[in-house]
Amino acid sequence: MEKFTKILSSFHIKDELNPEIWTNPDSPSDTKMKEEIRLRLIEIADAFVEFLGYDIFVQDITMTGSLANYNWSEYSDIDLHVMYDYKESGPEEELFKDLFKLKKTLFNSTHDITVKGYEVELYVQDTNEPHYSTGVYSVLYDEWIEEPEQENVSIDTDVIKGKVEQWQDMIDTVIEDVEEGDEDLESSIEKIDKLKDKIKKYRQCGLEDEGEYSYENLVFKFLRRNGYIQKLFDYQNDLLDKSLSLSE
β-pair type (118-126, 114-115):
antiparallel
Q: Which residues of 59-95 are buried (b: 16+ CB within 10 A; e: fewer)?
A: ebbbbbbbbbbbbbbebbbbbbbbbbebeebeeeeee
pLDDT of amino acid 186 = 79
Helices 185-210 and 215-225: crossing angle in degrees, nearest 10, is: 130
pTM of the entire structure? 0.80
Average pLDDT, the chain: 90
* Sites in the chain below the pLDDT cut of 70: 1-2, 247-248
Q: Rounded to an integer, what distance in angstroms lies between the CA atom of residue 14 and that of residue 136?
A: 17
Amino acid at 64: T
- Report the chain's terminal Cα–Cα distance, integer Å: 44
CB 155, CB 219: distance < 8 Å: no
Instruction: Give all strands (DSSP E) within the chain, no chain letters.
Output: 60-64, 78-84, 114-115, 118-126, 136-138, 143-146
Q: Rounded to an integer, what distance in angstroms lies between the CA atom of residue 217 and that of residue 199?
A: 10
- Domains delineated in the chain: 15-146 (3.30.460), 157-244 (no CATH)
- Nearest CA-CA partner of 64 in 147, 152, 153: 147
